[in-house]
Chain A
Amino acid sequence: MTLTLQRKICVLGGFSVGKTSLVRRYVESIFSDAYLTTVGVKIDKKTVELRDRIVHLILWDVAGEDDISSLRMSYLRGAAGYLLVADGTRPSTLEVALSIRQRVEADFGPLPFSLLLNKHDLSEQWAIGDAEFEALRQKGWWVRSSSARTGENVEDAFTDLAARVAG
């Protein structure tokens, strides 16, 4: 009998890095260029069928904040893992993502997470060097470039994270 699980996953990162677009691409296979900032949190659900289990992912798309001290940690309560998102065309957002990871780890311990360097379709504006990217992978993290526009690595990121939080 296939085991069915439900897991809460938070999507975290600075503002305008594409968190909502990634969730929308993943859940509804839709992408829109229009930027609409998220206030509070937006909850979606997506079911992932793994080899031996079915996982209902409860996706908490948390509003991005410039200042991570403004991040409402109450949204993270009960999360099994999280997806960190940075904008590959704005290097400062990678710093924000790394700070969020530290804060989450300080408050909730080492949860499974993945790191997406989003907007990889904007290759001319891409600002993350190969060396920097490799340095992140060297930490043993699951790191990928991604694009909500093209779908690059979107499915993989959530599926991989689902497998880890369902383990």
Chain B
Amino acid sequence: MEGLPASVADRLQALTFSERAVAYLQIDDDLTLIGAGGHLAAYGLEGLRLGEPAVAQAGFLEGLLPLIETPYVVPSVELAAGRAADLHFDRDGDSIWLVLLDVTAERNAARRVQQKAYDMTLLQEKEALLNRKLEAANAALLATQRELEASREALLEAHAKVQAQAAELASWNKTLEERVAAQLGEIDRMARLKRFLAPSLAELIVSSGDERILESHRRDISVLFCDLRGFTSFAESAEPEEVMELLHDYHRVLVPLIQSFEGTLDRFVGDGLMVFFNDPLPCPNPAERAVRLAVGMRDAMAALAAAWRRRGHQIGFGIGIAQGFATLGQIGFEGRFDYSAIGTVINTAARLCEAAKDGQILVTSRIATAIGDIADLGDIGLLTIRGLSRPLPISNVVSLKVEQRRQVG
């Protein structure tokens, strides 16, 4: 209070005492409370007993006494009822003085500032925590997104593979369709070819894929004509069913023979048949084949005729064979083609067939020359043939020579 007028100093002291709720304790070296005063109740220190231990009555002194240093301040201590005080310890002679000064207002002001700071820090911590969680969630999302992208790529890859497989399947399908179409074509051609070729020859042509051999051309061929003797009168007198049955037996016997000798079956006309050799596929010794076939036919027909005779039908069988150049090829129009031969040699063979008696195989001299080694021939003499300017020397194939028959058989 130095320098202040006594009245101002007194006034200030009075203000401090009331405004700062000044209270005090006086404690001796034995830690006995020897004095107390001021606003003790403001700090929950009412009812103190002088002459008794101070620490037992004011618990907050526990551990603080005796004083190690002086003066000593313990700031901002809340003792009771929310009131805060600074504790000022001072030694004065044999006594320790404790002065309590209210700092509640300052404490509350500091608390407001600190509260805001701590609230802000807590918010920042929460924000940081949330950010870490968000980052973790974001990382998980990114990972999931990458997995999804990988799955999508895998799906696209699988889709592309399926597309490629579909395209491949379509290609295979197309190839298959083409093959089916080709095979159907082959079947169709085969069916047409089988009408006049031995099945083995038809298959050969179809498998070669080359049908140019069916185009029109000239070739040296052996032509065989055969028909039945007495068929016309039989057909006139017999029932149509009987006629058909007879023709059926006739063809059933002869056609397999023709095929076995690989002859080209040109046509059926009633009981007449025309077969030629060396076309459309060339063959060695066409004349010999024709004669061997003819002998085979005659033998087979002999057995069949015997059976017909037993049923009362007198049926004979004659054959004519000639050799020469003819024009061959497909004749007809789309949907109805035949492979046929045209030329004098056809006419000659047909006339020889007409001239042949039952069991005779009449052949021209060219045929006779070609088969002289394998067959026994009987001379028939000259035969005048319509359309030819001079008669031809004709022979009858009596039989194949023994060893040759065995070969044929």
Contacts and interface: CB of A to CB of B under 8 A. Distances in A.
Binding partners A and B: yes
Interface of A: 6-8, 15-16, 35-43, 45, 56, 58, 66, 72, 74-75, 77-80, 90, 92
B59 A56 contact: yes
B59 A45 contact: yes
Contacts, number: 66
How many interface residues does chain B have, given as a range? 20 to 34
B56 A6 contact: yes
B63 A79 contact: yes
B396 to A, nearest CB: 123
A35 to B, nearest CB: 8
A37 B111 contact: yes
B59 A58 contact: yes
A58 B74 contact: no
Q: By DSSP majority rule, is chain A's interface helix, strand, loop, or mixed? A: loop
Nearest to B60: A43
A66 B121 CA distance: 10
Interface stretch (B75-83, B198-206, B334-342): B75-83
B115 A36 contact: yes
Interface of B: 55-56, 59-60, 62-64, 68, 72-79, 84, 107, 110-111, 114-115, 118-119, 121-122, 125
Contact of B74 (A16, A75, A92): A75
Contacts of A38: 111
A92 B121 CA distance: 13
Contacts of A15: 118, 121
B55 A6 contact: yes
A66 B63 CA distance: 26
Contact of B76 (A39, A77, A90): A39
Contacts of A75: 74
B119 to A, nearest CB: 8
A118 to B, nearest CB: 15
Given A40-B84, A43-B60, A66-B121, A74 B115 contact: no
